Amino acid sequence: MLIDIGFILGTMFMYATPLLYTALGGAISENSGVVNIGLEGMMTIGAFSAATTSYFLQNPWIGFIFGGFAGALLGLVHAVACVSYRADNVVSGIAINFLGPGIALFLARHFFGGTTHTKILDLDKKMPRPFDGVFEQNSFFDLILNQYATMFIALFLVFVVHFVFYYTRVGLRLRSVGEKPTAARTVGIRVVLYRYGAVIVSGFFAGLGGSSLSIAIVSHFWHPLISGQGFIALAAMIFGKWKPIPTMFACLMFGFSQGIAVFLGRVIPATYTELVSMIPYALTLIVLVLFVRRSRAPSALGGQVDE
Amino acid sequence: MKKRNLTRTITLVSAILLGFTAGGIFLFFSGYSPLRALEKLFLGIFGRPRYVIWVMVRAVPLVLTGLSVAVAYKAGLFNIGAEGQFIIGALVAALVGYHVRLPMVLHIPFVFLCSMIGGAVFGGIAGILKARYGIQEVISTILLNWIALYSNNFLLKFPGIKRPDSEASFQVRETAQIDLFARFKTSDSWIPFQMENPAIADALKASLSMGVFVAILAAIIVHYLLKRTTLGYQIRAVGFNENASRYQGIPVNWIKSGSLAISGALAGLGGSLHVLGVTKEVSRLAIMEGFGFDGISVALIGASNPLGILLSSFFFSGIRYGAVSVQRDLGTPTEIINITIGTIVFFVAIPYLFERIMLAIKKRKEQKNAN
Amino acid sequence: MTETDAVKLTNITKRFPSVLANDNINFVLKKGEIHALLGENGAGKTTLMNILYGLQRADSGTIEVYGRPVSIHNPNDALSLKIGMVHQHFMLFEPFTVIENIMLGREIHQCGVLDRKKARKKVVDLSESFGLTVDPDSYISEISVAMQQRVELLRILYQGADILILDEPTAVLSPQEIVEFGAILRKLVTSGKSVIVITHKLKEIIDFADRCTVVSRGKVVNTLSVSDVDAHALASMMIGHELQAQVQSHKNAPGPRLLSLQNIYAEDDRGHTAVQGVTLDVHAGEILALTGVDGNGQREIIEVLAGVRKASSGSILLRDQEIQNYSPRMLYESGCANIPEDRHKDGLVFKFTVAENIALRTYRNYVEGPFLRFDKMNHDAVSLIQDFNIYPADPMHAVGEMSGGNQQKVIIARELVDNPEFIVAAHPTRGLDVGAASYVQQSLVQEKERGAAILLISFDLDEILQIANRIAIIYNGKIIAVKSASDLTREQLGLGFAGIAE
């Protein structure tokens, strides 16, 4: 029983990790007033870049950071469109979702001899697991805590982002820009600069989210690796009312229902696996119906500023 | 009004050119000749009559999902769920097409109706969640997409639905198939006809279905729905200003739910047309097929205008179809298409850029004239 | 150096695509004075001040601050010259606290981490020294408009401003609060600040300004000392001609009771009980003004009467028939009309044409099967456009591209077209120029004389005293007095605004 709970919680953390990075990225961008529906594409390019650099440089950490940079690059593209050229944020995001996978697969073919997936990393060249071997194998704590380093970094980043949002000058200014850009401008805050920064950092985080999949949870990148997780992260962020800590809980809740799904998948007949796979999505929907009242988005979300 | 249309046209044309340029650059750097690829692409679409027909046939689902996204968009809603509504429509079509026995004249409309109801219910759920509980349709439709996909896969495990020894459903009965000329192509007169009319025969080799005409009809109906009907007026009012609409007694919540239901019905019809006209069955889905997501881009490129959507689906379907022959003949990577489409959508998003460029050109002209 | 001019603007010209907003304007603010900038809406006052504050750039002209020629490209430049501005629409952030709002842009921090304690102390010190009492830890969304204005003032003082520009600062204040506000301004100038007040209210200028510059159609009419002039002269200068004859309102005897609110309770968006047992009767053929400081439950009453907010208890009778919790459409069908307070948000669909906007509530008349007869709709709109003098006279023109006055006329045309029995008019002249405002008032008076019952929600005392038969004062969600308009003086109204009824 305890072992089962450990398994479910462990699975929760594992599934939640990429979502955490990406949803935090979403929160950063949207608190500055720019809708980021392109998280999916940024995750994809991040996952690819991380897997590729890790493979060639044989170092997961460089790969991890590289994944972030690749995402940030797409973030920059999104920022140019949305901030400088008044693009409809959603449309630009959709474009990013084409460009991300398109470029990733194109480069994959280029680097890996015509295939659309990267080569599998050696086990010891993947993200390390800091608590590996600390606990007895498959014991309760081992199941929960023996996670990739990326998981712990993600949880840490939640609090970093929370701190930055609510306790620092940059955070206050960032939120003011997303709330009422004209007013922020009158007190001398450089709206454009903040929005650029936020969207680029948002891409960086989404890139890390992709990396945490391709070089930790699995050990290579292939086409449907991301399939929709960027959107789920977006949903988690909205569910989390655009705030880092509630967003974390939303991601964990989604991970938890994945955990239950995986657990049930082991114990019930194969006929029902599809039904079980549905759990995370259906449960999220039910939780939304039961607990979420109209939440308040940043006021200027998706709007434009005249400079 | 006129000026806005001009900007829109210039934006669209430039976006398409830039999209192809981006694709060309990527091709060039991976050692292919962009010009040859472009030529192949063109020939792959227009090279033979049957290619054109194929492009049209493949455009059918995109027209419907594009219209689906557009109707919701007019009511101020963003329907990412066309994908799931499409899956449900297809599933219902496969089930009703096989399990119900009716004469053809009734069977086909009956399947359409059932698929539309299926899609409408699925879209309507998102609508009610939005209207009643204030849950953003963007989240609910994303989640519903996955629920649709797993429902499809779940049902396809049951005997009676699953065709033995396959990953797919039973094929729909002949009374529910909407191919045109299918019987003619297997008849005795086909071979002499081929000799006499090679061009038409070639066109007929593509499995042209009623779907093309239904799609065009659907676009016309949606056009009139939005422009001429009371419901269309209400939808637009709500989309432009929800508060004012509520103040004036337009039932905002009903209109929102209703437009998502209509949106779902359109996507569901798309699924139905795809099954009855092309696949004849539904199979287990490992990933989303993307008809709904492509519908978003189709609607965007088509400026949410039904006629625009007809053109943009043809365009979309054309480059996807044409790309297959480019890949076959030149061995180019298929991802170029996504890069091209992504670039086009990207530039469609920023008409402001082109406005500024137009303004700069105008100014320079004026300066020249002044000198 | 004994420089006595805080600000000197010389030959400022600013042209917008359609109008010449500032035409060779000269303006001097002396050190330590309160200087009123007077003019109608659209006269160019705000544009001029936006130029001084760096939000807009003049096409030509020079700016001197304390005798030094300067160029101001953005608000940062203005702030470093110690110029601060409070905008008419407050530039506050609702989800932020008072302290956060005040320090934004000039944060007290250590290595980027906010030092809220220090900031708090500075804010408290400032508010004590200028008598601007405000709770530094509450959120903007929780405090009254008058408090929000104090926050705005504190903010520019915090930023170190010596030259304060205040854009229509009294528009949102009660008469009582306006008196307090005057005292605060006095305190500011005695401690060395110089103040520019943009306004179109004559009485205030006389009450607390030292000098006054009158602007009309982008040009300076005159700059004069307030002690040398009376309100009447100022008004004719502002409008450019003698005051028009005021709207004539016969204080006719009202008819039978038409609408009756009985013990109405309603909650605001945050779930607080904003309306606490309001009982009011409106008679046929009268205008009942409901007045009070903004945010005392007026909005909720308006929304209840429009059918977009549910009353939590109580009843509303129209001709003795219960209409409580009717939908907007049922209300309209039983003869109620509603001129909402926010044209942009609640009144109009900006991307729709004039005809489509007029038809928003009557579109069911044009239904033919599933279709809507847009041709008929346009046809009907043409005659309304003539009747109500709407410009441009084109039923296909997009409402969003029209002037505020004409937008309001579109609403009025829509609401008054089928002779409603009961009309709610919420701040119907807010933001309109004198001509448009008097047109709107005239229309209401005509409706009244036709026999309609009108509930006018307004805090413009001139308007109320001019056209209302009776006046009800609301304070804290309760009606604290209902009197005949002729029995009330400005002073009594002012006390009533502050919650004091004798």
In-domain check, residue A52? yes
Say whether pLDDT at C75 is over 90: no
* B349 close contact with A: CB closer than 8 A: yes
| Higher pLDDT pick, C229 / C367 | C367
Spatial separation of the C-alpha atoms in residues B118 and A190, rounded to whole Å = 50
Residue-averaged pLDDT of chain C: 86
| Parallel, antiparallel or unpaired: strands C273-283 and C286-291 | unpaired
In-domain check, residue A303? no
In-domain check, residue A301? no
Position C501 scores a pLDDT of: 67
How big, in percent rounded to 5, are the helix, strand and coil portions of chain B? 80, 0, 20
Domain layout of chain B by residue ranges = 47-311
Position A45 scores a pLDDT of: 96
Taking CA atoms, what residue in C is nearest to B231? C370
A168 contacts in C (CB within 8 Å)? 109, 112-114
Give A294's pLDDT tier (boundaries 50, 70, 90).
Answer: low
Beta-bridged to residue C470, according to DSSP, are C288, C484
Say whether pLDDT at C179 is over 90: no
* B151 close contact with A: CB closer than 8 A: yes
From B83's Cα to the closest Cα of chain C, the distance in A is: 29
Position B252 scores a pLDDT of: 93
Spatial separation of the C-alpha atoms in residues C383 and C399, rounded to whole Å = 17
Chains with 3 or more CB pairs closer than 8 angstroms to A? B, C
Highest mean pLDDT among A137-146, A203-212, B13-22, C104-113: A203-212
Interchain CB distance below 8 Å, B338 and A99: yes
CA nearest neighbour of B91 among B335, B282, B367: B282
Say whether pLDDT at A302 is over 80: no
Interchain CB distance below 8 Å, B246 and C374: no
Interface of B with C in 67-106 (CB under 8 A): none
* Averaged pLDDT for residues B102-111: 93
* B213 close contact with A: CB closer than 8 A: no
Position C498 scores a pLDDT of: 66
Q: Domain range holding A27?
A: 2-127+135-291
Give C380's pLDDT tier (boundaries 50, 70, 90).
Answer: very high
Interchain CB distance below 8 Å, B231 and C356: no
Residue-averaged pLDDT of chain A: 90
**Which CATH number covers residue A222?**
1.10.3470
Say whether pLDDT at A190 is over 80: yes
What proportion of chain C, given as a percentage, has pLDDT over 70?
Answer: 94
Interchain CB distance below 8 Å, A179 and C95: yes
* Averaged pLDDT for residues C461-488: 87
Q: Please, what's the b/e burial string for B213-248 (b: 16 or more CB within 10 A of its CB; e: otherwise)? A: ebbeebbeebbebbebbbbbbbbbbbbbbbbbbbbb
Mutate to test the interface with A, among C82, C93, C157 (most CBs of A within 10 A): C93
Taking CA atoms, what residue in A is nearest to B29? A110
From C348's Cα to the closest Cα of chain A, the distance in A is: 20
* A186 close contact with C: CB closer than 8 A: yes
* A183 close contact with C: CB closer than 8 A: yes
> What does the DSSP assignment read for C255-323?
-SEEEEEEEEEEE-TTS-EEEEEEEEEEETTEEEEEE-STTSSHHHHHHHHHTSS--SEEEEEETTEE-
Chains with 3 or more CB pairs closer than 8 angstroms to C? A, B
Q: What's the one-letter identity of residue C379? A: H
From A179's Cα to the closest Cα of chain C, the distance in A is: 7
Interchain CB distance below 8 Å, A188 and C76: yes
The pLDDT tens digits for A222-272 are 888 887 899 889 989 988 989 999 999 999 999 999 999 889 888 888 778
* A94 vs B129, B134, B300: nearest CB: B300
Interchain CB distance below 8 Å, A81 and B349: yes
A173 contacts in C (CB within 8 Å)? 104-105
What proportion of chain B, given as a percentage, has pLDDT over 70?
Answer: 99
The pLDDT tens digits for A82-130 are 999 988 898 899 899 999 999 999 999 889 988 888 888 888 888 889 9
* C328 vs B234, B237, B246: nearest CB: B246
Spatial separation of the C-alpha atoms in residues C38 and C233, rounded to whole Å = 12
Say whether pLDDT at C361 is over 80: yes
- Mention every residue, 6+ apart, whose C-beta is less than 8 A from residue C163: C6, C7, C29, C65, C81, C82, C83, C84, C193, C194, C195, C196
Interface of B with A in 31-60 (CB under 8 A): none
Interchain CB distance below 8 Å, C371 and B231: no
Q: Give φ, ψ of B253 to 5 degrees.
A: -65, -40
* B140 close contact with A: CB closer than 8 A: yes
Residue-averaged pLDDT of chain B: 91
Interchain CB distance below 8 Å, A168 and C55: no
Mutate to test the interface with C, among A32, A162, A172 (most CBs of C within 10 A): A172
* C75 vs A167, A186, A296: nearest CB: A186
Q: What's the one-letter identity of residue A16? A: A
- Find the Cα–Cα–Cα–Cα dihedral B172, B175, B179, B182, rounded to 10°: 110
Say whether pLDDT at C1 is over 60: no
Q: Which of A167-171, B257-261, C146-150, C276-280 has the lowest mean pLDDT?
A: C146-150
Position C18 scores a pLDDT of: 64
> What does the DSSP assignment read for B160-212?
TTBPTTSSBBPPPPGGG--BSSHHHHHSTTHHHHHHH-HHHHHHHHS--BTHH
* Averaged pLDDT for residues A278-289: 86
Say whether pLDDT at B1 is over 50: no
* A88 vs B140, B338, B349: nearest CB: B349
The pLDDT tens digits for C129-164 are 888 889 999 999 888 878 888 999 999 999 889 999
Q: SS3 of B106, please?
A: helix
Spatial separation of the C-alpha atoms in residues B70 and B318, rounded to whole Å = 21
Cβ count near C76 (within 10 Å)? 17
What proportion of chain B, given as a percentage, has pLDDT over 90?
Answer: 60
* A186 vs C55, C113, C114: nearest CB: C55
Position A47 scores a pLDDT of: 96
* B147 vs A95, A278, A292: nearest CB: A278
Mutate to test the interface with C, among B1, B224, B248 (most CBs of C within 10 A): B248
What proportion of chain C, given as a percentage, has pLDDT over 90?
Answer: 43
Taking CA atoms, what residue in B is nearest to A224? B287
Position A305 scores a pLDDT of: 62
Question: Quick one: A263 exposed, middle or buried, by C-beta within 10 A (0-12, 13-18, 19+)?
Answer: middle
- Find the Cα–Cα–Cα–Cα dihedral B147, B153, B158, B161, rounded to 10°: 100
Spatial separation of the C-alpha atoms in residues B9 and B26, rounded to whole Å = 26
Give B87's pLDDT tier (boundaries 50, 70, 90).
Answer: very high
Domains of chain C listed by start with CATH number: 5-239 (3.40.50.300), 247-335+420-502 (3.40.50.300), 347-416 (no CATH)
Mutate to test the interface with A, among C83, C90, C91, C116 (most CBs of A within 10 A): C91
The pLDDT tens digits for C94-127 are 899 999 999 998 899 999 999 999 999 999 999 9
Interface of C with B in 343-362 (CB under 8 A): 345-352, 356, 360-361
From B287's Cα to the closest Cα of chain A, the distance in A is: 7
| Structural domains in chain A (count) | 1
In-domain check, residue A296? no
Give C243's pLDDT tier (boundaries 50, 70, 90).
Answer: very low
In-domain check, residue A304? no
| Cα A45–chain centre separation | 12
Spatial separation of the C-alpha atoms in residues B23 and A206, rounded to whole Å = 25
* A167 vs C74, C75, C114: nearest CB: C114
What ipTM does this complex have? 0.88
Give C362's pLDDT tier (boundaries 50, 70, 90).
Answer: confident
The pLDDT tens digits for B273-330 are 999 998 999 999 988 888 998 999 999 889 889 999 999 999 999 999 999 889 888 8
The pLDDT tens digits for C307-335 are 999 999 999 999 989 998 899 999 998 99
* B248 vs C361, C371, C372: nearest CB: C361
The pLDDT tens digits for A130-143 are 988 888 888 899 99
Chains with 3 or more CB pairs closer than 8 angstroms to B? A, C
| Higher pLDDT pick, B272 / C273 | B272
CA nearest neighbour of C341 among C294, C398, C287, C282: C294
Position A307 scores a pLDDT of: 47
Position A185 scores a pLDDT of: 86
The pLDDT tens digits for B349-359 are 888 888 888 88
Position A29 scores a pLDDT of: 97
Taking CA atoms, what residue in A is nearest to B352? A85
What proportion of chain A, given as a percentage, has pLDDT over 70?
Answer: 97
In-domain check, residue A9? yes
* B312 close contact with A: CB closer than 8 A: no
The pLDDT tens digits for C182-199 are 888 999 999 889 999 988
* B128 close contact with C: CB closer than 8 A: no
* B241 vs C308, C330, C349: nearest CB: C349
Interface of B with A in 216-255 (CB under 8 A): none
Spatial separation of the C-alpha atoms in residues C394 and C391, rounded to whole Å = 8
CB A235 within 8 A of CB A284: yes
CA distances A62 to B151, C153, C286, Å, are 41, 51, 78
Mutate to test the interface with C, among A182, A186, A296 (most CBs of C within 10 A): A186
Say whether pLDDT at C245 is over 80: no
From B338's Cα to the closest Cα of chain A, the distance in A is: 5
Question: Quick one: B156 exposed, middle or buried, by C-beta within 10 A (0-12, 13-18, 19+)?
Answer: buried
Interchain CB distance below 8 Å, A189 and C105: yes
Question: Quick one: A136 exposed, middle or buried, by C-beta within 10 A (0-12, 13-18, 19+)?
Answer: exposed
Interface of B with C in 31-70 (CB under 8 A): none
Interchain CB distance below 8 Å, C109 and A179: no
Q: SS3 of A33, please?
A: coil
Interchain CB distance below 8 Å, A183 and C95: no
